[in-house]
Structure 1
Amino acid sequence: MKLWWLTSFLWLIFFSIVALIIGFRKVDGSGLEQTSELRIVAFIILGVIFIFVLLCQLVFLYFALKRKSNSTYGR
């Protein structure tokens, strides 16, 4: 469980930093000036990746809790 909390915290920090970078940058990696539309698209892509990672984390948590409860009852 400690590993799950640590990875969740690291993912949260990672997504927060990337969101701040997207929000404050003036020029993206290809050299284009960041417009509101490009910034929104970047946030949508980041959101989709965040949802995917969140679902993976929740599936891992489900199996970790299931395993922990099975070992508690002596199965």
Structure 2
Amino acid sequence: MKKTWMIVSIVEIFVFVLLSFFIFTRKVDGSGLVQTPEVKMITWYVLDVPFVLLVIVQVVWGIIIKKQR
């Protein structure tokens, strides 16, 4: 179970870094809007919300794994 937790954590971090890189390197979004630094930060904050929820789930999952030992 701990191995699964570690793999999920690594995949989660990789996806977050990849999406963050994509947000900050693109010049124009899908609708044709030019990406200013302010718009990039707002988009990044919107990306952060689900990942914060995932981190909370990961921490709870890690605590449960530790207690089972």
- On whether the aligned pair clears a TM of 0.5, the verdict is yes
Could you say which structure has the greater relative contact order, defined with CA pairs below 8 angstroms and 6 or more residues apart?
A: 2
Is 1:47 equivalent to 2:48 in the alignment?
yes
Counterpart CA distance in 2 for 1:2 and 1:62 is 14
Counterpart CA distance in 2 for 1:30 and 1:3 is 38
**Identical pairs, percent:** 32
| CA RMSD across the alignment | 1.0
After superposition, where does 1:22-41 map in structure 2 within 5 Å? 22-41=23-42
Paired residue total: 68
TM-score, normalised relative to structure 1? 0.83
TM-score, normalised relative to structure 2? 0.89
Provide runs of 4+ in structure 1 moved above 4 Å: none
Counterpart CA distance in 2 for 1:30 and 1:55 is 32
Where does structure 2 lack aligned partners over 5 or more consecutive residues?
none
Counterpart CA distance in 2 for 1:59 and 1:7 is 13
